[in-house]
Structure 1
């Protein structure tokens, strides 16, 4: 029997008041120096707490994991204290909030992270990230050639994710979502084009998913599976030159490995940047190997979201940019109220800046 978007859902011990999630979106509004979450960010997330679940913007787990300027970290005491304001604000509105844990891998530059970006192999593709311009100010800059990670760096990165998860629970989050999508670190390990290693983290499909599975297991062991989620994007080509002929097989194998971990959910990111459409056959393949909660994001409408629930392809659904201009999106969808458009002006204030285009979008007024 299908569920309505507006019915509660149980994720482990957590009850979400509806099946509408706010998808993670980089906004680059931290306090400097130190990339510390602030009161303005707490207001932003408080305004959007009528969704069943908020997934925060990506939070770098370490300095070298950073790929966009002014994104909020989760690796210093100042970060933890800053995030406490955010989680408290959301919980005061009876909302639930997961933090997205982020390592961008090769999608970075040393002027942002302080050192040469890390990747499975020393391979670069043309790509841009938000960082400091040589002439001053911030904007989109070309990424730098990455270097191949050593085994020791892989092990220390797993440890960084575990520590970031512990920091997140200390900061008051209900759970963590590990970002393994969009051409970032784990995604590049899983794909042939970017992973040309000859060790236990390269070559076979099992080897290419090993880093992600080991990281998930380590974080699950630390904070519990019901507080851990993962975001993947097998049908998105962002950060790569071409489609990967083996990524679907790799993803299905990874899901088989994830199932016994009893994760809070797996988050499929779709229809963003460069992508291919998701065939119905893939949805069925996923359900055959993975019976735990699934969230899907990607240019959703109320109708397309409900259709995914009706077909049992997803258990709940995430909306991204509609939440930028509609802080009360869940209320508007429930009452069929008009949505404020995400237009060219909204796009201009997506990254960086202050309150304008961030916390000044009003709730619906008749």
Structure 2
């Protein structure tokens, strides 16, 4: 696969190939402190040794407020910075580069979440509109669903959190940062007309709904210069966001075009995948359209990354044809720590990993303890390159 394994200039660095490891929630950070652990160092090093051109770490919280996931890592204090330093030092012993995905879930939290309680703050969002899903609260009994959030009065206060997180990521040694604008989280909530009903400069028109994400992107670029990526999922209905197709194309055409002009190092678009769909009253909420080709003409300067259940052969085809510049893979990296090297050597890629062990919170009633966190995480074998 000569094209997939050709170098790629990305921002201020050159990647050895065009296979990326996408951000994946794994929930192994130290409880309460939400710092990276030695087990996480081992996990990222295993995959860095597996030959990716770039790794994007798991969604990393810019503030304690706003998490639907137990033990998701943060990057708002010195102890967390120091924890990530150990991860990055390990990754940098290989050829791989690593970006930090900066993330705020917005309305996708719950006031009874332990981390939310610790802040003494309400759940913030662009508008006081609840998402209609809520089965992912693994730390709460039953299925409480999302609550109606509090409309954030001054969104610039949240942008300040993203900028400080970028400053912290730079201190930790990350090669860049990725702004998480996808999957129904905070920035996606500002973009979407179903979750943003504001009548001020942060809502209404396409330009106003895009303002929050673009201001956040500007703040990150002030810190990292050309080494800032953007992740978007225009076809996704995850966490109850999905505009009519005409609004979707208009909104994302504008946002992508403006992000491209600002100097993003890459723009990563996730195509339709069933995992990111949402069915309400038996009907799919997602937009089923060709995301990759629709937005190709809009990207003039940034590198174009695709994501969404690609095979290696399909990735080679897309890159060779100039449809995209590179491809992010997610699930293959879980069960195949040496995924890129397997692809290059034309060795078989193992089956889909054990989904019951994705998120670390293994059920005590089944006999699991905290010492079992390596199961489905660092216990998958490498080929031995």
TM-score (normalised: structure 2): 0.88
Q: After the TM superposition, which residues 25-174 of structure 1 pair with which residues of structure 2 at under 5 Å, given as runs? A: 25-49=24-48, 50-112=51-113, 113-114=116-117, 115-128=121-134, 129-134=136-141, 142-151=145-154, 154-174=155-175
For residues 144 and 300 of structure 2, what CA distance do their matches in structure 1 show?
39
Q: Aligned residue for 1:331? A: 341
1:177 aligns with 2:183: no
Q: Is the 8 A contact 2:257 2:299 kept in 1?
A: yes
For residues 54 and 241 of structure 1, what CA distance do their matches in structure 2 show?
27
How many Å apart are 1:95 and its aligned residue?
Answer: 1.5
Question: Secondary structure, in 3 states, of the residue corresponding to 1:268?
Answer: strand
How many Å apart are 1:243 and its aligned residue?
Answer: 4.0
**Further displaced range: 233-242 or 174-183:** 233-242
Q: Is the 8 A contact 1:48 1:327 kept in 2?
A: yes
1:314 aligns with 2:324: yes
Question: Secondary structure, in 3 states, of the residue corresponding to 2:301?
Answer: coil
Q: Aligned residue for 1:6? A: 5
For residues 92 and 9 of structure 1, what CA distance do their matches in structure 2 show?
20
Structure 1 residue runs of 5 or longer lacking an equivalent are: none
How many Å apart are 1:342 and its aligned residue?
Answer: 1.5
Change (3 A) 1:284 1:347: closer
Structure 2 residue runs of 5 or longer lacking an equivalent are: 278-285, 362-372
Question: Secondary structure, in 3 states, of the residue corresponding to 1:222?
Answer: helix
For residues 357 and 299 of structure 2, what CA distance do their matches in structure 1 show?
41
Change (3 A) 1:32 1:278: same
Q: Aligned residue for 2:359? A: 351
For residues 141 and 298 of structure 2, what CA distance do their matches in structure 1 show?
51
Change (3 A) 1:288 1:62: closer
Q: Which one of 262, 285, 290 corresponds to residue 279 of structure 1?
A: 290
For residues 348 and 233 of structure 1, what CA distance do their matches in structure 2 show?
25
For residues 251 and 295 of structure 1, what CA distance do their matches in structure 2 show?
15
Question: Secondary structure, in 3 states, of the residue corresponding to 1:307?
Answer: helix
C-alpha deviations, 1:62-102, integer Å up to 9, x for none?
01233311001000111101001110110012211001000
Question: Secondary structure, in 3 states, of the residue corresponding to 1:98?
Answer: strand
How many Å apart are 1:106 and its aligned residue?
Answer: 0.8
For residues 342 and 358 of structure 1, what CA distance do their matches in structure 2 show?
13
Question: Secondary structure, in 3 states, of the residue corresponding to 1:110?
Answer: coil
How many Å apart are 1:236 and its aligned residue?
Answer: 1.0
Question: Secondary structure, in 3 states, of the residue corresponding to 1:356?
Answer: coil
For residues 306 and 268 of structure 1, what CA distance do their matches in structure 2 show?
17
How many Å apart are 1:141 and its aligned residue?
Answer: 5.8
TM-score (normalised: structure 1): 0.92
Q: Is the 8 A contact 1:107 1:127 kept in 2?
A: no
For residues 326 and 96 of structure 1, what CA distance do their matches in structure 2 show?
18
Q: Aligned residue for 1:360? A: 379
Question: Secondary structure, in 3 states, of the residue corresponding to 2:220?
Answer: helix
For residues 289 and 2 of structure 2, what CA distance do their matches in structure 1 show?
22
